[in-house]
C-alpha cells in the first residue's frame, strides 16, 4: 500500500487504507504500507504483522511550503527521497502488487518500469488534479490545474 498519510493521521482516505490493509492481513495476505514520515514517527513499525514504513521526503525538508507540518503532502511529481525509499522497500518486500492512494503515486511511477509490478490506483477525490483535493480555487469551481495557480492554492 502507498498512502501519503497513515495512522495516527486519520481521515477518510487514511481510514480506508488502514481498514483495507488490516482486512487483507486478516484474510492471510502479506501487507506492507509505505507512508510519509510525520513528526514523532519511527522509520519502521510493526502493527499486528502489518509492516509500516514511514519515509522521509525532500519536500518535507522545506517546511515553509506547508501550513500543517503534520500533514505535509507528497508533491505532484516524484520526490527523490521517497523514490529511493520506495525502491529499498520494494527490494525488501518483493510485492506482487502495488496499491496507491494519492500523490505518493508520483514517486512510484518512475520505478514502475524498472520493477514491473502491477499497479492499482484508488481515486478518493480530485487529488491527482488538485492540491486541495476539492477542485475549488478560493471558493469557486476551478477551471483546471496550472502550476502557478496550484502552487499558490496549495
Q: What is the dihedral of CA 82, 92, 9, 39, to 10 degrees?
A: -60
Within a 13 Å sphere around the CA of 1, how many CA atoms are in the beta-carbon half? 31
DSSP state of 48: T
pLDDT at site 71? 65
Supply the pTM of this predicted model.
Answer: 0.81
- Structural contact between residues 106 and 75, judged by C-beta atoms closer than 8 angstroms: yes
Q: Indicate whether 52 belongs to any domain.
A: yes
Do 30 and 75 have their domain in common?
yes
How distant is the alpha carbon of residue 17 from its chain centre?
10
What is the spatial distance between Cα 58 and Cα 77, in angstroms, rounded to a whole number?
12
> What CATH number has the domain bearing residue 35?
3.40.50.2000
What is the extent of the structural domain holding 111? 12-122
Do 26 and 65 have their domain in common?
yes
Please check the confidence at residue 32 and state whether its pLDDT lies above 80: yes
Do 106 and 151 have their domain in common?
no
Burial (CB < 10 A; 0-12, 13-18, 19+), residue 49, is exposed
The average pLDDT across 1-25 equals 92
What is the spatial distance between Cα 106 and Cα 11, in angstroms, rounded to a whole number?
21
Residue 137 φ/ψ, nearest 5 degrees? -125, 100
What is the spatial distance between Cα 22 and Cα 126, in angstroms, rounded to a whole number?
25
Q: Indicate whether 33 belongs to any domain.
A: yes
- Can you read off the three cell numbers belonging to residue 93? 518486500
Do 99 and 148 have their domain in common?
no
Total domain count, the chain: 2
How do residues 45-103 score in pLDDT, each as one tens digit? Answer: 998 899 999 999 887 777 666 566 666 777 778 999 999 999 999 999 999 999 999 88
What is the spatial distance between Cα 154 and Cα 151, in angstroms, rounded to a whole number?
5
Amino acid at each position: 500500500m502507498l498512502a501519503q498519510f497513515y495512522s495516527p493521521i486519520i481521515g477518510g482516505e487514511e481510514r480506508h487504507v488502514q481498514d483495507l490493509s488490516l482486512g487483507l492481513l486478516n484474510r492471510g495476505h502479506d501487507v506492507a504500507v509505505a507512508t510519509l514520515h510525520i513528526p514523532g514517527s519511527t522509520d519502521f513499525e510493526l502493527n499486528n504483522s502489518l509492516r509500516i514504513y514511514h519515509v522521509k521526503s525532500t519536500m518535507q525538508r522545506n517546511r515553509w511550503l506547508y501550513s500543517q507540518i503534520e500533514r505535509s503532502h507528497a508533491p505532484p511529481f516524484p520526490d527523490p527521497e521517497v523514490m529511493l525509499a520506495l525502491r529499498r522497500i520494494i527490494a525488501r518486500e518483493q510485492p506482487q502488487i502495488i496499491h496507491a492512494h494519492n500523490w505518493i503515486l508520483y514517486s512510484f511511477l518512475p520505478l514502475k518500469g524498472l520493477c514491473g509490478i502491477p499497479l492499482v490506483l484508488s481515486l478518493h477525490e480530485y487529488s491527482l488534479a488538485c492540491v486541495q483535493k476539492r477542485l475549488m480555487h478560493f471558493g469557486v469551481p476551478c477551471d483546471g490545474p496550472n502550476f502557478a495557480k496550484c502552487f499558490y492554492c496549495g
